[in-house]
């Protein structure tokens, strides 16, 4: 016989994935608990806050959360070549992440969810037919039970390991400063800085957030970087020929840091009594590290699955797995292939790639017409075809060959380079 549970659903983590799960589940009638580690929802923030316009349309998000709207992009190669692209309509908004997370938690509470902050969850277990989450709250032992848990802890979750799930992943380490008095080129155009001296295994960025303010940061792959993110960000700000000019009079307002799981295995994101969502599930684009939109999609599906599961539908959890992979699993696979290929490119090959975009109006127009930062896989086939054009064959054949070679290897190795499978130091 099952024990009487405290809740129908316990959601761990009040970021975008957790907040949307709790909101949707409470709206569907579940008695829901939303647990947050920090004293206040939304702090500390860990990302640039870039969120595609698709999310605002699909989830009816309020416009007051928007700090800035983005319609263009500038990509700087290691040799200083810049490729600029501009879409016909906005692609993304930059949101105030603290306000965004708090808005979701408030929506959940308005639907009847119970928010508890300052709870440090330590583990989960199956006990007498229910799931029990345990941890610490104000110096005291905390526990809560429910038929099902949704884990939205973030990039380094603890609960899956406590239940015997092993989610292999490879993270990049990010550091970002929010700054004012930035000498922006264009308020709707983020800048991306590429190359091994800037950010080994990833990139640096300048993300305008309105006025003369911007978020400036780097992510580095610890498997490729010889120094800390602080070292690379300091060098970007002081020595990069473009970024240093933009930031010569800038003042730091606050600092943000955190890991991002850019490469993950395709192991299941469900187990008996638990669903994993968002960064905890590795639902992040490996090319950019962005995952808010996909987290919201997965969270809604997780809440629907939890509701069906509580109602006695034993197939609900696997249905969640199938549905989220149908919605955006292709994007995770495609961006993983692209990330592994980019990581194997030399700076000279990156120079050639950016140079081709900068010099070829037809190629640039194709990117502007088909490019979508949420659904990047749509661009890969036409980009590969354009690379075979005689004008670019010599320049682009080597990087496109690496995309094929390392992409297929990634698929064969379950998403993570084979030499790192079973040897990751970021599990749990």
137 lies in the same domain as 285: yes
pLDDT digits (tens, 9 = 90+) for 230-281: 999 999 999 999 999 999 999 999 998 889 998 777 778 999 999 999 999 9
pLDDT digits (tens, 9 = 90+) for 54-66: 999 999 999 999 9
Residue 313 forms part of a structural domain:
yes
Residue 162 forms part of a structural domain:
yes
For 386, half-sphere exposure in the C-beta direction (CA atoms, 13 angstrom radius) is 16
Q: How many Å apart are CA 71 and CA 86, to the nearest integer?
A: 6
Q: How many domains is the chain built from? A: 3
- For the ranges 272-276, 307-311, 360-364, the lowest mean pLDDT is seen at 360-364
State the residue for tokens 């469900």.
270
Give me the CATH number covering residue 112: 3.50.50.60
Under the banding of pLDDT at 50, 70 and 90, the label for residue 185 is very high
pLDDT digits (tens, 9 = 90+) for 215-230: 999 999 999 999 999 9
The pLDDT score that the predictor gives to residue 100 is: 96
pLDDT of 162 > 70? The answer is yes
Q: How many Å apart are CA 405 and CA 382, to the nearest integer?
A: 18
Q: Of 328, 352, 376, which residue sits at a domain end? A: 328
27 lies in the same domain as 150: yes
235 lies in the same domain as 364: no
Enumerate the H helices of 272-392 as residue ranges: 292-310, 316-344, 347-359, 361-370, 380-387
Helical (H) or strand (E) element with 94: strand 92-95
240 lies in the same domain as 102: no
411 lies in the same domain as 354: yes
Helical (H) or strand (E) element with 401: helix 393-412
Burial class (CB in 10 A: 0-12, 13-18, 19+), 226: exposed
Residue 57 forms part of a structural domain:
no
The pLDDT score that the predictor gives to residue 6 is: 96
CA angle 410/412/415 to nearest 5° reads 40
Domain extent at residue 407? 336-420
The pLDDT score that the predictor gives to residue 406 is: 66
Q: Of 293, 328, 363, which residue sits at a domain end? A: 328
106 lies in the same domain as 187: no
Query: Torsions phi, psi of 253, nearest 5?
Result: -95, -45
350 lies in the same domain as 412: yes
Residue 26 forms part of a structural domain:
yes
36 lies in the same domain as 135: yes
Residue 427 forms part of a structural domain:
no
pLDDT digits (tens, 9 = 90+) for 42-55: 888 777 789 999 99
Under the banding of pLDDT at 50, 70 and 90, the label for residue 362 is confident
Nearest to 283 by CA among 251, 329, 226: 329
Under the banding of pLDDT at 50, 70 and 90, the label for residue 296 is very high
pTM attached to this predicted model: 0.92
Under the banding of pLDDT at 50, 70 and 90, the label for residue 407 is low
pLDDT of 153 > 90? The answer is yes
The pLDDT score that the predictor gives to residue 393 is: 65
The pLDDT score that the predictor gives to residue 408 is: 63
């Amino acid at each position: 016989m099952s024990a009487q549970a405290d809740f129908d659903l316990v959601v761990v983590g009040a970021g975008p994935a957790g907040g949307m799960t709790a909101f949707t589940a409470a709206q569907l009638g579940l008695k829901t608990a939303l647990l947050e580690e920090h004293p206040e929802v939304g702090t500390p923030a860990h990302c640039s806050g870039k969120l595609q316009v698709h999310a605002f349309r699909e989830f009816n998000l309020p416009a007051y959360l928007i700090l800035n709207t983005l319609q263009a992009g500038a990509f700087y190669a290691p040799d200083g070549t810049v490729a600029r692209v501009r879409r016909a309509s906005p692609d993304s908004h930059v949101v105030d992440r603290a306000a965004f997370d708090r808005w979701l938690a408030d929506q959940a509470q308005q639907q009847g969810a119970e928010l508890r902050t300052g709870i440090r969850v330590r583990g989960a277990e199956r006990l007498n037919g229910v799931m029990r989450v345990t941890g610490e709250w104000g110096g005291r032992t905390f526990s809560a039970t429910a038929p099902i848990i949704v884990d939205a802890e973030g990039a380094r979750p603890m609960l899956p390991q406590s239940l015997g799930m092993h989610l292999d992943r490879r993270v990049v380490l990010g550091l970002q400063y929010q700054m004012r008095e930035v000498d922006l080129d264009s308020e709707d155009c983020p800048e991306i800085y590429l190359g091994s001296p800037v950010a080994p295994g990833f990139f640096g960025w300048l993300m305008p957030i309105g006025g003369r303010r911007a978020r400036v940061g780097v992510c580095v792959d610890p498997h490729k970087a010889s120094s800390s993110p602080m070292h690379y960000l300091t060098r970007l700000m002081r020595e990069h020929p473009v970024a240093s000019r933009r930031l010569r009079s800038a003042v730091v307002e606050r600092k943000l840091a955190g890991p991002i799981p850019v490469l993950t295995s395709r192991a299941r994101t469900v187990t008996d009594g638990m669903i994993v969502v968002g960064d905890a599930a590795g639902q992040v684009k490996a090319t950019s590290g962005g995952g808010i939109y996909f987290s919201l999609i997965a969270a809604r599906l997780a809440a629907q699955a939890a509701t069906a599961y509580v109602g006695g539908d034993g197939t609900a959890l696997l249905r969640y797995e199938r549905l989220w992979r149908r919605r955006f699993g292709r994007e995770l696979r495609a961006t993983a292939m692209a990330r592994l290929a980019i990581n194997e490119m030399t700076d000279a090959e990156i120079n050639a790639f950016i140079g081709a975009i900068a010099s070829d109006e037809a190629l640039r127009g194709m990117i502007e017409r088909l490019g979508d930062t949420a659904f990047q896989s749509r661009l890969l086939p036409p980009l590969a075809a354009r690379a075979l054009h005689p004008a670019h064959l010599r320049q682009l054949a080597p990087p496109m060959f690496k995309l094929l070679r390392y992409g297929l290897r990634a698929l064969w190795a379950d998403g993570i380079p084979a030499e790192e499978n079973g040897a990751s130091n970021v599990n749990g």
